[in-house]
Amino acid sequence: MPKIGMEPVRRKALVDAALKAIGDHGSLDVTMQEIARSAGVSAALAFHYFGSKDQLLLATMRSLLRQLKEEAIAAIRQAETPRGKVSALIAVSFGAEQFAASTVAAWLAFYVEAQRSEETRRLLTVYARRLHSNLVAALSPLCGRLEAQHVAEGAAALIDGLYIRRALDAARLDVGEAAALVEDYVTLKLNAVKPETGR
């Protein structure tokens, strides 16, 4: 008989193992057997909990998105000013765990998968809309909603671009340097706002 309360622990172990396996492979070309072995459980148990590899991979992606959402909410609540909220959102995007090489590789694999999987594409769209919405809400008091939309779009594109460069090893940036590049962009855009027009 399995111990009561072990299912959530084993599910998390499988999700963590899936994330690591995807990162190590640089793609979603991993097997349930590999993931289960890394998590210390049988493949049969992995199939019992998730039904299929695709469902486990989607659960892994949802776990990443949930973590990002929770960290963003906490960071926004702690920030005392609109500009502080913008910086908090940027910092969360480049959190040490999110910007780890294996996690970045997993994100890139999910973007590739989104070309064929409607559910993966939907989850990535949720992520993109949430990031954009949070940035617009934080930026609007600083430059007006119209300009905030524009600045948020640029900041989000920079964040995504830095993840791609990190995944391809094209930019050996640490989390601080990556965040600083986005901060510089936001500061330049906000400094260009004309007070008399509200832009």
123 in any annotated domain: yes
Task: Give pairs for 180-188: CB < 8 Å, separation 24+.
Answer: 182/90, 182/93, 182/94, 182/155, 182/158, 183/87, 183/90, 185/154, 185/155, 185/158, 186/86, 186/90, 186/139, 186/151, 186/155
197 in any annotated domain: no
**pLDDT tens sequence across 25-44:** 878 889 999 999 999 999 99
Query: Which residue range(s) make up the domain with 151?
Result: 6-191
Q: What is the pTM of this model?
A: 0.85
**pLDDT tens sequence across 73-103:** 999 999 999 999 999 999 999 988 888 888 8
Examine the pLDDT at 120 and tell me if it is beyond 50.
yes
pLDDT value for 46 = 93
**pLDDT tens sequence across 131-162:** 999 999 999 999 999 999 999 999 999 999 99
198 in any annotated domain: no
40 in any annotated domain: yes
196 in any annotated domain: no
How many domains is the chain built from?
Answer: 1
199 in any annotated domain: no
